[in-house]
Amino acid sequence: MSSLLIDNIGELVTNVAGTGEGGKLGIRRDAAILVEEDRVAWLGPARYAPAAARRIDADGAAVLPGFVDSHAHLVFAGDRAAEFAARMAGQPYTGGGIRTTVAATRAASDDTLRGTVRRLRAEALRQGTTTIEVKSGYGLNVADEARSLRIATEVTGETTFLGAHVVPTEYADRPDDYVGLVCGPMLHAAAPYAKWIDVFCERGAFDADHARAILTCGQAAGLGVRLHANQLGPGPGVQLAVELGAASADHCTHLDDADVDALAGSATVATLLPGAEFSTRSPYPDARRLLDARVTVALATDCNPGSSYTSSMPFCVALAVREMGMTPAEAVWAATAGGARALRRDDVGVLAPGARADLMILDAPSHLHLAYRPGVPLIRQVLHNGVPR
């Protein structure tokens, strides 16, 4: 059996609450971690470390669970840099640019889409992301939604059918018919490649009745539920997510007290996507309010070509701390263990015996540096499935 010992770890973030310093982060000092195959086999004080076939000297650095990016749209063609520039010159974001990407995606070859997905997956891995969720949503017809998901399965098991991203142009005057297509032939073609189903529940996209119909069909087909909710304005999305037992309500930028209460009393994670507010120059969600109400919060990138073209979880951590009222510890937890909760996973986002050996070694002595040194490439090395990358 191949074994690998990482020792001389100055700060080991385990996310096992109550086992060390830092509350939920479960920080251990002067630690070592033993990896066998793709799993964590042991961790503890460096002086008790068992022997192993190979060794990595962390040289006093911090070691953390790999980031769990629970919200990304990687299957697309084209870019929308000009739209970004126009927004920065004062035009508002409406979500309408999604249709531009749909046209480019439909016209692209499999290899073009596959190249983009792999490039972005590799880019995220270099920045510490060991688990990533990938949505469809730029095909919006039966063949292109199924194709998008099939390509997504080549890089992740966390795939999400988002046929209800927007109503495509050809259905603009008959949205009920499009909902019927999504619930019927499109879901049938997509489900073999999807673990989750998602809807963009927003003014200009899908209302609560349409979203409920689509998500209920997805549940009946065996898919887990997640939802784009309350991004551009107040709305019914968060309440619907809680009603349907969704794993996650994503964005949560515009919440009223009833929304916060509903989340607090549920198993639905609030996934915050500050890259979207950054890239659309919009007000950030109030993470402090959610945390104070004991809502479980995750951070994710929303990586997509329109409203958040970043794959960087460290960037999202820095934004969450600077702009959303989170402490560095809360943001790091939300970007690792929080993301795992949003995907209903207990084998990632945590370092403990039996967990997946997905971790990162920083070029820094502490997790604090992820927010303290924004924009700096601090990920020295990543282990994914126990393999150094």
Among 7, 302, 330, 358, binds Zn ion (CB under 5 A): 302
Q: Which residue is nearest to Zn ion (CB)?
A: 302
Q: Is 251 annotated as a binding residue?
A: no
H-only helix segments in 7-134: 81-88, 98-107, 110-126
CB of 251 or CB of 384, closer to Zn ion? 251
Q: Is 188 annotated as a binding residue?
A: no
To the nearest whole angstrom, how small is the minimum distance from the Cβ of residue 71 to Zn ion? Answer: 6
CB of 207 or CB of 302, closer to Zn ion? 302
CB of 4 or CB of 272, closer to Zn ion? 272
To the nearest whole angstrom, how small is the minimum distance from the Cβ of residue 237 to Zn ion? Answer: 12
Q: Is 304 annotated as a binding residue?
A: yes
To the nearest whole angstrom, how small is the minimum distance from the Cβ of residue 202 to Zn ion? Answer: 11
Long-range contacts of the stretch 362-365 (C-beta < 8 A, 24+): 362/61, 362/62, 362/63, 362/64, 363/61, 364/61, 364/62, 365/10, 365/11, 365/60, 365/61, 365/62
Write down the number of H helices and E strands in the chain: 15, 16
CB of 65 or CB of 93, closer to Zn ion? 93
Q: Using DSSP bridges, classify how beta strands 3-13 and 54-57 pair: parallel, antiparallel or unpaired.
A: parallel
d(CA 238, CA 261): 10
Q: Count of residues for the chain?
A: 389
CB of 165 or CB of 356, closer to Zn ion? 165
Q: Using DSSP bridges, classify how beta strands 27-36 and 3-13 pair: parallel, antiparallel or unpaired.
A: antiparallel
Positions in 258-297 near Zn ion (CB under 5 A)? none
Q: Is 302 annotated as a binding residue?
A: yes
Phi, psi of 304 (to 5 degrees): -160, 160
Kind plus residue range of the DSSP H or E element containing 214: helix 208-220
Interacting stretch for Zn ion, rule CB under 5 A, among 2-10, 125-133, 239-247, 300-308?
300-308
To the nearest whole angstrom, how small is the minimum distance from the Cβ of residue 162 to Zn ion? Answer: 8
Question: Can residue 69 be called a binding residue for Zn ion (CB under 5 A)?
Answer: no
User: Applying CB under 5 A, which residues contact Zn ion?
Assistant: 302
